[in-house]
Amino acid sequence: MRGALPWFASVAVALTCHAERPNIVIILADDLGYGDVGVCNPDAKIPTPHIDRLASEGMLFTDAHAASATCTPSRYGLLTGINPARTGVLNTTLQQGIPIISGNEPTLGAFLQERGYTTRMVGKWHLGFEGGKAATKKITSDKPLSGGPLDRGFESFFGIPSSPGEPPLCLIRDRALTDSEGFHQEQLSPSLCREAVEMIHAHAEANTGKPLFLYYASPLPHKPWVPTEEFQGKSGVGDYGDFVMQLDDVVGRIAGALRETGLEKNTLLIFTSDNGPSPPAVESMNAIGHDSAGGLRGQKSDAWEGGHRVPMIVKWPGHVPAGTRSKALVNATDLLATIAGILDSQPYPSAVDSVSFLPVLTDPAASHSRPPMVTARHAIRHANWKLLSSRRQADAGELNLADFSLYDLDADLAESTDLLATHRGQADPLFTAFQQFTKERVLKVRSQP
């Protein structure tokens, strides 16, 4: 594995010299495409006024990436700072439902809890529990769940065990089932949003002096698309568009709660998505002339940019300049190191794929040279160059350079022209970096306990 990351040496900036630790709120959308957000896609046909406002009040990253192109590995990477490709975490890793994050892989929640934060999670967990799917299907008060959020750095949890629409259909509070018989899909997001808003107000009223970390993992706009009556037909482009607008409203409500309580002025608010748009969303939106991928090639699960390049907005009044954009290459795994830098701390040694982009937060034009970044299945990116293999089902160790294509994303964001034959000077070092990453893998061995 790579050793200490070079981010810390460059963190001697004014941003770290604040007297008060900021509250931290992360809003993670589920299957939201880069092109579904107006501020990322001028031709978007779905209004997203609250997300667009957030961008006007903070910094939009135009080259931000989820840790993977699918839900489970993406969430694993965000919380641990470990690239899921390094440990072999795939969406299929959750088939048994057992914990994806091992007990020896500390999380962002644990990191902040150790530094005096109140840590809370609301929404979609999707990272398993001890006992696997059988445990979540038989949740009872005398058999509390373990291996979930409360054992991975969070003091409280209110949400769903897996994807919306995937059994068991239930809400969990901390370690116990709250309700299953009365579970209604269309009321899931309102219930979660209400919880988050009340949590923000309660934290402000308690005034304990402890900062808040809230990880809000929205189930929207993942299928099933079941907008509430208020949003049905609102977008004019179908249920998916309505659901995206409902997500936008959630962002507005959470941001509004921060304003109303006065917490906004010292809150680092981050909005992003876990991967690109789902195939059904792409098909549905293409039919009405809306490009959910925003000009990028591919969709959820693809190594193409459309699979993992996502909207990312960071707002922190007085620290992050409002209405700015950054072209810095960043990944959701980088949040742990960046937040560590804000707190003048070192990230966990285990967070080997977390690279701080802290200098960029004060200056969007600041130089930020990220080490080569492996994305999705068998793709690697450095600066504007990307090497990608179409052999998705092959093991990374079996691949040769001839299995790859090379793209210059500065000139060809749609990844339409393979330059491997003419630019071997760019391809060779990227493939060498890919091989080195592959050799460093420590693949997880998973079996049902």
The total of other beta-carbon atoms located within 10 Å of residue 42's CB is: 8
Long-range contacts of 47-50 (CB under 8 A, 24+ apart): 47/235, 47/245, 47/248, 48/244, 48/245, 48/248, 49/248, 49/252, 50/248, 50/249, 50/251, 50/252, 50/255
Q: Which residues, in sequence order, are CB contacts of 426 under 8 Å at separation 6+?
A: 385, 406, 408, 419
**Nearest residue to 254 via CA among 39, 38, 54:** 54
**For residues 227 and 189, is the Cβ–Cβ distance under 8 A?**
no
Give the DSSP per-residue string, 334-371: GHHHHHHHHTT-PPPTT-TT----HHHHH-TTS---PP
Residue tagged active-site, from 40, 50, 65, 126: 126
Residue tagged active-site, from 40, 50, 65, 71: 71
Beta strands in 72-190 (DSSP E): 118-124, 156-160, 171-173, 176-179
Question: For this structure, is 17 an active site residue?
Answer: no
Dmax over CA atoms of the chain, in Å, equals 65
Strands 176-179 and 171-173 turn out to be antiparallel
Bridge partner list, 112:
none
Question: For this structure, is 71 an active site residue?
Answer: yes
Q: Computed over its alpha carbons, how large is the radius of gyration of the chain?
A: 21
Instruction: Compute the Cα dihedral for 122, 124, 128, 133 and give only its sign.
Output: positive
Active-site annotation, residues: 71, 126
